[in-house]
Amino acid sequence: MKTALLAALALAACAPAARAAPVEVVSAWCRPAGAGAPTAACYVTLKAAAADRLTTVASPLAGKVEVHDMSMAGGIMRMRHMTEGLPLPAGETVRMGPGGKHLMLIGPKGALTVGGKLPLTLTFQKAPAQTVTAHIVPQLPQQPQGYAPQGSR
Ligand SMILES: [Cu+2]
């Protein structure tokens, strides 16, 4: 009797971590940056089956990684640290890109060279954390044709 109860408790304790499906990482890439650059930018495209949130990002090749948003205000580009993380609505593809949301690498450890790779560990509110390899490419894979943020004009 007591054994059965303990087994049930152990199962219950394991359940939440195993339940959420992993978030699909559609793409991950970084722009090159020279040695000594104070920051560098990486971009990921994410798709979550169930509503979730990208909470924190880390890389062994940067002192810190922050989720930023960029917007134009009065002709000036402004960056905002999304301290609350990046919301991932259910079934929606959330695309980061130049001029918009990005991952800001603060204190990159060394140059980001074209052709190189950079590991990024993405932590989500519900889905399990995962480490992806971002490729360092010279310029934007342009946003796919026909893609535009909802209600942008
Ligand atoms: Cu930024």
Higher-pLDDT residue of 4 and 48 is: 48
- Give the sign of the dihedral formed by CA 51, CA 40, CA 31, CA 80: positive
The structural domain count of the chain equals 1
Q: From the centroid of its chain, how far is CA 59? A: 11
**Percent of the chain residues topping a pLDDT of 70:** 78
Is 152 within a domain? no
Reported as a single tens digit per residue, the pLDDT across 74-132 is: 888 899 999 999 999 999 999 999 889 999 999 999 999 999 999 999 999 999 999 99
DSSP letter at 153 equals -
Is 79 within a domain? yes
pTM equals: 0.78
Q: How far is the CA of 15 from the centre of ligand 1 (A)?
A: 36
Residues by chain with Cβ below 5 Å of ion ligand 1: 68, 79, 104
Three-state SS at 15: helix
Q: How far is the CA of 83 from the centre of ligand 1 (A)?
A: 12
Q: How far is the CA of 69 from the centre of ligand 1 (A)?
A: 7
CATH number of the domain within which 74 lies: 2.60.40.1890
